Amino acid sequence: MTIEKMRIFSGTANLELGRRIAEYLSVPMANATVRRFADGEIFIQIDENVRGRDVFVVQPTSNPANDHLMELLIMVDALHRASAGRITAVIPYYGYARQDRKEAGRTPITAKLVADLLHASGVKRVLTLDLHAGQIQGFFNMPVDNLYATPVLLAAVRKWGIEDAVVISPDIGGVVRARSYAKRLHVDLAIIDKRRPAPNVAEVHHIIGEVENKHCIIVDDMVDTAGTMIKAAEALLAHGALSVSAVCSHGVLSGVAVQRIQSSVLARLLVTDTIQLSPEALSCPKIEVRSVAPLLGEAIRRICDEESVSSLFV
């Protein structure tokens, strides 16, 4: 790898992940000044030469999503105007991904709007992880590498040493993801039939599959308010499950999610560090965190060296 041509920048959304990626690559973090005016306007200045460099900007668009998205766009614009050679947006958690289609009349497709904004700002490539819907890649007019946290999370799940397990998909849309885990763990798959009468509200109607006398492992791409997950866990226990654990790539954990998890019937929740967790979440004994820095770092190295990243799509 030609270290001289690579620059790793990080916004303020997840500085720790940016540092871990830079550490994996054995390169120093590039310097940029990020500050805000009194009215909340974001100002960014690139503090080193990036002319002709292969630049990677690490910035999940997590809470506050609008601030972090604008920060990413402004940093990319600053890099573009500083004559960076190629700018790759490393977005471990792609916010607005849940708005990937029109679910009712006169509603936006905001996942597409964000893709357009990234393109307009000067992004030439996107590296992300576990998109809420894989077809979001089609919203971009540029290369998109959508990696999966499966290898990182599976390694942790295997250390649990759970026997008589069954993997649970929390809805029909997550079956492909859950089936991938079930196949690799050599266990059965079950599906929860749920309905969403409103955003962040879910009702469990049926459980498809055998969960009685089984240790259930719910697999999802994100956990937000945790209300849906806890309802699913309660329903599984009511159907005879011995225990319920959960595995999610993105720990959004909004509002009182951590308190809900701590007082819930969930045995444990496993997440990655795509989103910077709060001190409360980090200190919760039921929440385990695994880093995706080596996975993202390896993808960055291969992109910089113009090597294939296909082997990382597992």
Which residues are marked as active site?
A: 194
Q: Is 59 annotated as a binding residue?
A: no
Q: Is 188 annotated as a binding residue?
A: no
Q: Is 41 annotated as a binding residue?
A: yes
Q: Is 302 annotated as a binding residue?
A: no
Residues 266 and 181: beta-carbon distance below 8 Å: no
Q: Is 196 annotated as a binding residue?
A: yes
Q: Is 19 annotated as a binding residue?
A: no
Q: Is 54 annotated as a binding residue?
A: no
Using DSSP bridges, classify how beta strands 188-198 and 201-208 pair: parallel, antiparallel or unpaired.
antiparallel
Q: Is 165 annotated as a binding residue?
A: no
Choose among 115, 113, 111, 116: nearest CA to 98: 111
Q: Is 12 annotated as a binding residue?
A: no
DSSP classification of residue 29: B
Give the CA-trace dihedral at 285, 237, 155, 294, to 10 degrees: -60
Burial 51-69 (b: 16+ CB within 10 A, else e): eebbbbbbbbbbbebebbb
Q: Is 52 annotated as a binding residue?
A: no
Amino acid present at 94: Y
Residues 142 and 126: beta-carbon distance below 8 Å: yes
Amino acid present at 151: P
DSSP classification of residue 311: G
Q: Is 195 annotated as a binding residue?
A: no
81: enclosing H helix or E strand: helix 65-81
d(CA 312, CA 47): 33
Q: Is 145 annotated as a binding residue?
A: no
Residue ranges for the known binding site for D-ribose 5-phosphate are 196, 220, 224-228
Residue ranges for the known binding site for ATP are 39-41, 98-99
Residue ranges for the known binding site for Mg(2+) are 132, 171
Residue ranges for the known binding site are 39-41, 98-99, 132, 171, 196, 220, 224-228
